[in-house]
Amino acid sequence: MPAKTMDELVSLCKRRGFIFQGSEIYGGMQGAYDYGPLGIELKNNLKAAWWRSMVYERDDVEGLDAAIIQNKHVYKYSGHEDTFTDPMVDCHECKSRMRADHMKDIKVCDNCGSADVTEPRDFNLMFKTNVGPMVNEESYTYLRPETAQGIFTNFKNVVDSTSRALPFGIAQIGKSFRNEITPRNFIFRVREFEQMELEFFCKPGEDEKWHEFWVETRKQWWLDQGLAEENIQFEYVTGDDLAHYSKSTVDILYKFPHGFEELEGVANRTDYDLGSHTKAQDEFGLSAKVKKNEHSTAKLAVRDLEANKWEVPFCIEPSAGLDRGLLAVMTEAYTEEELENGSTRTVLKFKPHLAPIKVAILPLKKNKPEIVALAKELKNKLQKLGLGRILYENTGNVGKGYRRHDEVGTPICVTVDFDSIEKEGAPVTVRDRDTMEQVVVPAADLPAYVINYFINQD
C-alpha cells in the first residue's frame, strides 16, 4: 500500500538521506530542498529512465541542454512577462500571503479567519536578475521558469545540424525557477525544480493524432516506473483553465498523499511558440495569436516539399516535473508489511532500475580480513557492470543491514560469511528485498546472477 501521509515520507527521507530541508542549519527556506546521498541517486535514475525512453529508444528525438539564463526577449515574446502570473492575496491581520485561486473564500484568510485581506492582484512568478556589472532596466533578465523556451529558440540550430524532418522532437531535462506564492506539500511545489520536457514538432493537421499518442505513451511510462494504474487519472483542461498557448491539454494526475494532483501535462501548443519566436511572422499564416516579433533573426519554419511552401510546425509538449515524479515513485513504493513473527518492516519497493543502491555487499564479520577482502573484491566486480551504485557496508550486523536496505529500497543484498572463505566455490548468500528469500551463489557466478536479475525484474 502506498504512503498514506506526507509525514511518513518526510520522516523517511531525512532519516535515510533522501531529501533534506534547504539551509536547515539556518532555520530552513520555504520551497527549497536538498537531495541527499540516496535522493540524488534516485533522481538521477529517474532522469536516466526518462532520457532512455525519450531519446535512446526513439529514432525521432534529439537531446538538448539550453542555458538557464537567456536573453530577456525570449520571455517577452513567449508571453511570460505578460501572463506568467498567479493571483495573490495578503492578510493584514496575520501577514499571511496566499494564492487567491487556492483560498476557500477570497474575502477571508485561510490561516486566521480575518476578513481584513487585500483584493487579489497579479504576481509574476519569474525570478528577475541582472546580467553584468550595471544594475538598470537594460541589464535585467530572468531565471527561466520552464525549459521549453530554450528548445524553441534552438529549433533552427537543431534542424540545421541534424537534418531532421517532421515529425521529430527535442528533449531536455533541466532546472527551472518559479517564485511560488505558497510552496507546499514537501517537494510537490517548490521554487527551484527540475523538468523533463519534450517538444514534439509535427505538421498542422496531424497535431491531434500526436497529442493522443503522447498522452497514452506518457501514462504507460509512468506505469513502467512502478505507479499503479488505479492511482492515475486524466484531467482534460478546458475553457479558462487552458493556457493561452494551448489548443488542448490533458493533465496526468497521480494520487499523492494530499490527493490527486498533476504529475505531468501533455499540451497541444499549436504553432504558438515557434510562431512567437520567428521573424517574418506574416509569411506563415499562423493559426495562433502571437505578439509581433521585432527582434528575432531567424525563420523558425520547415519546408513542406509536398505543398512546396514553408510552414511553422505545431508542437505537442509532454512536460513532467522531476521532483513530483520522484515524490510519486516514493509514494507508490512505500510499503509497510507485517511479518510472520508479528514484527513490521518498512520497504521501498522501487523498480530495480530506479533503486538508489542496486546491490549491497555485507560481510558477516567486519574484523575478519579474508571475509572483508572477498566482500570488497565482489563489490568492485559488480560496480564495473555499470548498473549503478553498489554499496560495500561493513557494519558487521547483517540482520540490521537487511532492514536498513529494505527501507531504502535496495533490491538485493549479498552476504559474505565463513562459508565464502572456507568452502569450494566461495559461496555467498543473495537475499531478495521483496520476497526475503535467500539463495546461495558461487562468487564467480555472482556478476551473471546480478545482471540476469535486473534484466528479468525490469
Write out pLDDT tens, residues 201-234.
999 999 999 999 999 999 999 999 999 999 999 9
Does 59 appear as a known binding residue?
no
Does 446 appear as a known binding residue?
no
Does 369 appear as a known binding residue?
no
Q: Which of 188, 204, 214 is nearest to 323 (CA)?
A: 188
Does 317 appear as a known binding residue?
yes
pLDDT in tens, 139-160: 899 999 999 999 999 999 999 9
Does 263 appear as a known binding residue?
yes
Rounded to the nearest angstrom, the gap between the alpha carbon of residue 122 and the centroid of all alpha carbons in its chain is 28
Does 149 appear as a known binding residue?
no
Assigned domain for 373 exists:
yes
pLDDT in tens, 95-135: 888 888 888 999 999 989 999 999 988 888 899 999 988 88
For position 1, what pLDDT does the model report?
A: 62
Does 119 appear as a known binding residue?
no
Confidence of residue 236 (pLDDT cuts 50, 70, 90): very high
Assigned domain for 96 exists:
no
Which range of residues forms the domain containing residue 282?
37-80+145-329
Does residue 281 share a domain with residue 173?
Answer: yes
Assigned domain for 222 exists:
yes
Spatial neighbors of 360 by CB under 8 A, at least 6 apart, are 390, 391, 392, 393, 401, 405, 410, 412, 413, 414
Assigned domain for 94 exists:
no
Taking phi over 0 as left and psi of -120 to 50 as alpha, with beta for the rest, 95 belongs to: left
pLDDT in tens, 146-199: 999 999 999 999 999 999 999 999 999 999 999 988 888 999 999 999 999 999
pLDDT in tens, 238-264: 887 888 788 999 999 999 999 999 999
Does 179 appear as a known binding residue?
yes
C-alpha cell recorded at residue 176: 527551472
pLDDT in tens, 22-51: 999 999 999 999 999 999 999 999 999 999
Does 439 appear as a known binding residue?
no
Does 189 appear as a known binding residue?
yes
Number of domains in the chain: 2
Q: Which of 334, 27, 41, 331 is nearest to 186 (CA)?
A: 331
Q: Is the pTM of this model over 0.85?
A: yes
Query: 261: which strand partners?
Result: 254
Does 29 appear as a known binding residue?
no
Give the chain's radius of gyration (CA, Å). 26
CATH number of the domain bearing residue 416? 3.40.50.800
Does 188 appear as a known binding residue?
yes
Does 93 appear as a known binding residue?
no
Residue 371 pLDDT more than 90?
yes
Residue 83 pLDDT more than 90?
no
Does 184 appear as a known binding residue?
no
CATH number of the domain bearing residue 242? 3.30.930.10
Does 320 appear as a known binding residue?
yes
Does residue 308 share a domain with residue 408?
Answer: no
Does 393 appear as a known binding residue?
no
Confidence of residue 458 (pLDDT cuts 50, 70, 90): low
Spatial neighbors of 207 by CB under 8 A, at least 6 apart, are 247, 268, 270, 314, 316
Does 323 appear as a known binding residue?
yes
Assigned domain for 6 exists:
no
